[in-house]
Chain A
Amino acid sequence: MKASNRVFNFFTFLMAIVPAVVLISIIVFVLYYSIPSIRYNSWSFFTTYLWNPGFQFQAPIMKHGVLAPAGSAFGLDLFLIGTLSTSALAILIAFPVSFLISLNVELYLPSKIKKVMISMIELFAGIPSVVYGLWGIVVLEPLLFRNVEPWMAQHLTFIPGFGGEIYSGAGLIASGIILSFMIIPIVTSIIVNSFDTVPMDVKDGLFSLGATKWEVGKYLMTSYSRASTVGGTLLGLGRALGETMAVLMVSGAVTNILPHNFYSAINTMAAAIASLLDSAFTDSTGMNLAALAELAIVLMLISLTVSLIGRKIAGRGVLRGYESD
């Protein structure tokens, strides 16, 4: 083998491990920067919901061998609740919608416009998240605040958490709806792809036995695509957990106040990192920055685990939904 070829092969090898190097260095560096916070907060990071940056103009205190602003305390519970509940609501909306759309596209829709419809659903993934946030602020929030939430607070009081005061429209419901728009294309294209793998002759056999389209969908298609449906939903969940900007704009981005009904303002881990990083720079001890790094590590742990499980179940899945051709 020629030397130039060997050099070329070595170079391609170096480039192939770039993603691994990047991922590992992200984990290692963020973990390294969060060490002061891990030592300072220890377990209380996971047991309290208060996020107190401390007094910046008092002498810093020494605790567990690290310097921190006096009176500072950091806990992620509020953000964790927000992340989990917004993502759960997003999945709750996105899964049935995606499933019905896939069923419609596969069975009921004329095959001529099938591709056009899928492409249109995929455009949901192409809208930048700040544009979703903008639309959420000017259209969705007023709509929820004036029309939807008053009705819910009046008529759905028998469900715990649905009664009580309405605040501004920003919060769990708005965040969940916008997140669901972002993940519907992902889940839909994974389910449609798995529906496409159902062998034609089995499908035709079932039709010739007199089965209706719904029965073919219910008994045949779902049994073929159960794994990819679950996996695709998990991949969508992984994306919802890490979404930042849209949620930051429509969640209310609250700190230190626990939500007490479904209309309260909330905050998520990703949005909290984005909104609190600015003020963390002013902390001369660096503890605020370290606490945000720890928050980032926990967020990354959750979202990578969910995505890895989803990938294991669904295969490699799709990236965002719109490269399925």
Chain B
Amino acid sequence: MRVTNSYVGKQEELKWKKVSTRKIKDKIANGLSYVVLGAMIAILASIFIYILNAGASHVTWKMLSTYGNTSSGGVLNAIVGTWMLVGMGLLFSIPPSLLGALYIVNAKSNGTISMAARLFTDVLTSVPSIVIGLFAYLVLVIKFGMGLSLVAGGLALSVMMLPYLLRIIEISFRNIPKEQIENAYALGADDIRVASRVYLPQAKVGILSGILLAVSISAGETAQLIYSAGFNNALPTGFLHSEVAYLTYVVWTGINEPTAYSHYVAFASAMILILSVTGLIIISKYIVRRK
């Protein structure tokens, strides 16, 4: 037994007790955090493996190469339609985000307006996607008479892409060394020249990765498109009044339909979606890191 009467012995005992509980607490935190991290990675892996496996076992070349609806035929119309909608969304969101970011980072701009623009951009990211969809239906489809169409769907997607793009482009503009911009102005360049010769070339990797991210996010969106793009068994015939098919709709309605074939179509579409979306995210991370 310990000698508890002596002063040294008491100190020893106290120290021993204290150190042990502290060490144990550290060990518990260590173990618990590893368990949680491991569990999350396992869940992520299981989702990926499940979707990829289910998709790969039901996808056929015929499914990928023919038009169809969710209960018969293929998904080619949905694949092409998704990229048409995403392209339309980029068309509407790249110009305002690029030029808006130039205004925000320009030192000669009105500071209050720049700050307000940034605030509104951030707030716009938190508008629920179904509210954007409802707005697109009420205003674009009905009031402006676009009908369920490529343009209405593209505009609805661009409402979501715009704030993401604007912020990522703004951040990549801000990462450019200040001296370069100041030197360009000191040499007598005007704003157009500084924008085209300094900002754009220097930030092109950041802009590209932002565009890839925006594409990956919007390719996986559904709620904005249900009531602005509709669905089509073939490709759209024009920009207005012609509905467009997209992959997320096929996943959503396919799994809710009673036939086995529509489930297969849903799994195949989910596989295509998850592969293209995560592929784009990884590429965009890779090009940023390589820089």
Chain A positions near chain B (C-beta within 8 angstroms):
1-2, 4-5, 8-9, 11-20, 22-23, 25-26, 29-30, 33, 96-97, 100-101, 103-105, 108-109, 117, 119-124, 126-135, 137-139, 181, 184, 212-215, 217, 235, 238-239, 241-245, 249, 270, 273-274, 277, 289, 292-293, 296, 299-300, 303-304, 307-308, 311, 316-317, 319-320, 322-323, 325
- Which of A1, A101, A304 contacts B33, CB < 8 Å? A101
Please give, as numbers and ranges, the residues of chain B lying within 8 Å of A12 by CB-CB distance: 99-100, 102-103, 106, 109
Closest to A274 in B: B130
A89 → chain B closest CB, angstroms? 16
A209 nearest CB across to chain B (Å): 12
Is B117's CB under 8 angstroms from A16's CB? yes
B239-283 to A contact mask, C-beta < 8 Å, 1/0: 000000000100110011000000000110010011001100100
| B221 neighbours in A (Cβ, 8 Å) | 128-129
Contact bitstring B1-43, A, C-beta under 8 A = 1, else 0: 0000000000000000000001101101110111011001101
CA distance A108 to B35 in the complex (A): 12
A215 cross-chain contacts in B, Cβ below 8 A: 22, 25-26
CB-defined A-B contacts under 8 Å, sample of 15: A4-B192, A9-B106, A19-B162, A23-B124, A26-B127, A104-B36, A123-B278, A127-B274, A128-B222, A135-B50, A184-B40, A273-B130, A307-B123, A319-B164, A322-B285
Contact between B40 and A8, CB atoms less than 8 A apart: no
* Interface contact A299-B128, CB-CB below 8 Å: yes
Does the CB pair A137–B255 fall under 8 Å?
Answer: yes
A contacts with B: majority SS: helix
Determine whether the beta carbon of B220 is less than 8 Å from that of A128: yes
Contact call A238/B51, Cβ cutoff below 8 A: no
**A319 near B26 (CB under 8 angstroms)?**
no
Nearest neighbor of A20 in chain B, beta-carbon distance: B120
Contact of B47 with A127 in the complex, beta carbons under 8 Å? yes
Which 4 residue pairs across A and B have the least CB separation, nearest first? A128-B220, A242-B128, A104-B33, A307-B126
User: How far apart are the CA atoms of A271 and B75 in the complex, in Å?
Assistant: 26
Contact present for A103 and B274 (CB under 8 Å): no
Q: Could you tell me which B residues sit within 8 Å of A by CB distance? A: 22-23, 25-26, 28-30, 32-34, 36-37, 40-41, 43-44, 47, 50-51, 54, 95-100, 102-104, 106, 108-109, 113-114, 116-118, 120-135, 137-139, 159, 162-164, 166-168, 190-192, 195, 209-210, 213, 216-217, 219-223, 226-227, 248, 251-252, 255-256, 266-267, 270, 273-274, 277-278, 281, 285, 288-289
Choice from B43, B108, B135, B166 contacting A30 with Cβ under 8 Å: B135
B30 touches A108 (CB 8 A): yes
Please determine whether B191 and A5 come into contact, CB atoms closer than 8 angstroms.
yes
CA of A316 to CA of B104, assembled, Å: 15
Chain A neighbourhood of B103, CB < 8 A? 9, 12-13, 15-16
B130/A296 in contact, CB under 8 A: yes
| Distance from A291 Cβ to chain B, minimum over Cβ atoms (Å) | 12
Give the residue name and chain of the A residue nearest to B219 (CB): A128
How far apart are the CA atoms of A181 and B97 in the complex, in Å? 29
Q: Is A19's CB under 8 angstroms from B33's CB?
A: no
Partner of B113, one of A17, A25, A181, A184: A17
Are the CB atoms of A293 and B134 closer together than 8 Å?
A: yes
